[in-house]
Every structure is written in structure tokens, then in C-alpha cells.
A and B are shown apart, each in its own frame.
Chain A
Amino acid sequence: MGLTRIPQKTGSAVLRFFAYFGQVVGLIGELAVTLFTCRPRVRLAGRQIVDIGFGSQLVVVVTGAFTGAVFAAQVYFKFSELGLGTATGPVVSLAMCRELGPVLAGIMVSGRVGAAMAAEIGTMKVTEQIDALRSMGISPVDYLVMPRVIGMFVSMPLLVAESVGFGILAGYVMVVHIFGVPAVWFEHQVVSNTTLPDIAIGMIKGFVFGGLIVLISCREGLYANRGAVGVGKATTAAVVISSLAILVSNLFLSFLLNHFFPLGSSGFDS
């Protein structure tokens, strides 16, 4: 009897996944339509840029810097044994640009901003404020989701850049000032081994992760129900699902982007 329930449960989980996917795609569709029909809400979008971009700087910089520093230290310990201490710089820089910067910024922003979005929109949903908007003939996607999407798309690449920058800087401090590698070596190695495609990959990932966070968090908020418990669930789901989505999509994104910008070439001219 227990066994027959396994396919049933699996089936319903699969269905739920596709329903969820459908809702997110539906939201994208509505946003696309809204893009052509909405009026510009400069003020709301501006506030979101401040909230998401300006407000997230501290967490993103701190995570980027400390990860860069500890990563540089670990790499240096092993590399110096092999006589490759001066190669630490490019390893840190490539790792920050291509993987760590965007993923760390994405995870931190999903925790800080995604949770807030889901909680705010979810509370508006359960207190009928969303219905009030609709009753006035205003689309919640136009009024609530669009400014957040704009805020996220503007902020995320910049936050990734900050995370990467401070990560490399912290690596520099670690390797040059603590382990005594000559600064010239570090600089030269980093600059000559970090190419435009490496930076582009980080920015593109930041863009994609930002999109995932804002879509998933807004979806969670808009579908919240059953009062305070529902808002709590929506907030948790927003952070968990968008963090997982970032980590999983990162793998595929890395392969896809490596195909266009192969590691070790300058990408654009090869």
C-alpha cells in the first residue's frame, strides 16, 4: 500500500514543479506585455535601485572580500609549495569573476532582497492590498513587479562587480602584504590573465541571477495566502528556491558561457 503512493507522490511533485515553472513563465509573459503598455514609474524604480543596489553593498562587499581573502590564502599555501606562489593572483581573479563573485552576490541578494520582496508583496496579498490595486484597474505586475525587475537588473551586475573587485583586492592584501609576494608580480599576473570575457561572464551571470531572484520572490509574494503563516512560508520559499536556482543554473550557465568564451583565450578574437 505504501509502495503505490510513491509514483503518486512523485507524479504530484513533478506536476507541482511544472505548475510553478508555468507561473514564473506566465509572470515573464505579463512583464513582457507590461513593458509595452505600462507608464514609466521612475520614482518606484529609483527607490528599488536604492533598496536593492545601494542597500546591498555592505553585505556583498564583505562576503566578496572575505571569500577572496580566504580563497587566496588557501591557494597560496598549496601553490607556494609548488613554487607557483605568484600565480595565486590570476586564480583568485578568475574564480571571483567567473564563479564566486556572481554566486556569492546572488545568494546574499536573494537572502536580503528576495526575502523582503516576498514578505512585502505577500503581506499586501493577504491584507487585500493587491486586490485593492486590481479593483482600481492597476495591474500588480505593472505597479509592484516591474519596478523591482528594473531595480534588480540595474543593481545586480554592479553588485557583482563590487563583489569581484573587493574579492581580488582582499586577495591582493593577503598575498602581497601578508605572504610577501611582490606587488608588481601580483598585479602583472592578474592583469595579463584576466580577460574581458572573464568579466563579461560575471556580469551576465549577475544579470541572470538577478532575474531569477526577482521573478521567484515576486511569484512567491503574489501567490501567498493564509495570513501570517503564508507570508512566512512565501519568504522562506523565496530565499530557498532562488538560492537553489542560482546554484543549479550556475553550473549550466558556466558550461554555456564557457562555450562562447573558452577559458584561456581572449574569446572575442579567437
Chain B
Amino acid sequence: MSQLEKSEYFIEVEGLKRNLGGRQVLDGVNINFQTGKCTVLLGRSGEGKSVLLKHLLGLMRPDSGSIRIDGEEITTLSERRMRPVRKKVGILFQDGALFDSMTIAENVAFPLQEEGIRNRKVLLEKAVEVLELVGLAEHVAKMPNDISGGMRKRVSLARAIITRPQCILYDEPTAGLDPVTADSIDQLIAHLADEFSITSVVVTHDLKSMHTVADRVAMLRSGKIYFDGTVKGLEASVDPVIVNFLDGNSEDEPDVFA
């Protein structure tokens, strides 16, 4: 086991297939995520990036294929046996997924409370500590509906890191945010990855975001990994699909008005 823990890859995905409503969303995905590194997963909307991310946490089950987290195969684990694995991995959902019946502080402290910490003062202290990290310490008493979308994402990030996971999955962390807020989120992701050497997987189609955070980049297309390499390698590519994606060029795509 100790040998596995030191493995180069924190998450290993092999031949992952999933059919959703008659569409083969994942069609044999093979990709490994390096321990302590930040991998950006690119792809156009609807290419199954979020679906892949949900598989990595066992929130969705594949039709076939294998996912190993920290050396442990998770596709065959029951929901109950999955719990210890999930504690190693935090996730930032697209819209934050904060519990709207709780205050910001209660949201952030919730994972600790569930681990059995009952002292409200300790919980608040810990919550403030991580909220400071995302620059929101003064908003502890507000409700999720009273803060902006960007702040919600940052709160959600604080909630994801309060248990000190070894790995964080980000589902479109900058989608729908203004460029300045988006950049502040990117800086946070890069900071967390460097400072605590957290294995990060960032699903996005934001190229600026990719430049800020990526150690490595992969591109998902038609249910498969189309490209896997460095940012430089991606930009040097002459493959028309990649060039069109990077340039934001829709000319060769099927006509949406047809």
C-alpha cells in the first residue's frame, strides 16, 4: 500500500465508458492525473467534462472501465465503502452547491461538523481560517443567497479545503464570472496547488485560466482524450481541431443553423 501511495499518479483512469440517454458521452477515456500537479481538462461544452469529473468521485458509475484513486479501485466500491476515498478528494461544483439553509460559516464548517467536531467555537475558528484564505472572512454570517456568484464559488472552495484533501476537482471554476474575479479564483487554485501540493483537476474551457494554473493539459473530444501534454505542446499543435478550439473558430463545425 505504501508503495502505491507514493505512486506518480493520484488518479488513474482506464477505458472509462458511459452511455447517457443513448449518447456515448465517455467512450474509452484513458488519462492519469499526476500527484501534486494541476491538470487542466479542456473541451467544448457538452463533451462530457463534468460527467468525467463526477465519475472520479463515484457520484456517477461508469458502464465499464476502471478508476483508481490513490491506488484504490473505486468503480466497484459500494457507496458506504467509498466514503474514506471521498474524504481524500474535495470538489468545487459549477454553481458552488452551497447548502442554502445554512450560513456561510455553517456551510464551510459542515464537513468538520460531520466528522464529529461539536464545539461551535472551534468550528467557527476553523471556518474563519479557511475563509481568510479565500478572502471572505468578513462574510461568515451571511446566507449563500445574499452573496455574489464569484463569492459563492470561493466559499465552496473554502468548504472543499477545510478537511485538507489530497486532491481537489474543480468543475468550471471560472464560468460565468467577470475576468477579474475569474483571475482571483485562478490565482487561488494555483496557490493551493503550489502551497499544499494538492493534486488538482480543473475542468474548464477558459484558456486564460489554463495558462494560469496548468502544469499539464488534456483535451476531451467525442468521449476520448484527444490531446494530453503540456500547454506549450498544445499551442504548438497544428491539429485543426485543437487550432480551432484555441482560436475560438467555429467554421469547420457543423452549422448550428442548418
A residues neighboring B (CB under 8 Å) = 37, 124, 127-129, 131-132, 134-139
Pair A137/B93 contact, Cβ less than 8 Å: no
Give 12 CB contacts A-B under 8 Å: A127-B97, A128-B97, A129-B98, A129-B100, A131-B97, A132-B97, A132-B99, A134-B57, A136-B163, A137-B84, A137-B114, A138-B114
A37 CB contacts on chain B under 8 angstroms:
80
B residues neighboring A (CB under 8 Å) = 54, 57, 59, 79-80, 82-84, 86-87, 89-91, 93-95, 97-100, 110-111, 114, 163
Pick the residue among B59, B110, B111 that contacts A134 (CB under 8 A): B59
Nearest Cβ on chain B to A127's Cβ, whole angstroms: 6
Output the nearest chain A residue to B110 by Cβ-Cβ distance: A136
What would 16 more interface pairs be, CB under 8 Å, given A131-B54, A135-B86, A137-B87? A128-B97, A129-B100, A131-B93, A131-B97, A132-B93, A134-B86, A135-B57, A135-B89, A135-B90, A135-B91, A136-B87, A136-B163, A137-B83, A137-B84, A139-B79, A139-B80
Pair B95/A127 contact, Cβ less than 8 Å: yes
Q: A136-B86, A137-B86, A139-B79 are in contact. Are A128 and B111 (CB under 8 A)?
A: no
Pair B86/A131 contact, Cβ less than 8 Å: no
Query: A124, A129, A136: which has the most chain B beta carbons within 10 Å?
Result: A136
A124 CB contacts on chain B under 8 angstroms:
99
Cα–Cα, bound, A95→B111 (Å): 50
Cα–Cα, bound, A134→B87 (Å): 10
Nearest Cβ on chain B to A32's Cβ, whole angstroms: 14
Query: A124, A128, A135, A136: which has the most chain B beta carbons within 10 Å?
Result: A135
Cα–Cα, bound, A135→B86 (Å): 6
Cα–Cα, bound, A139→B86 (Å): 12
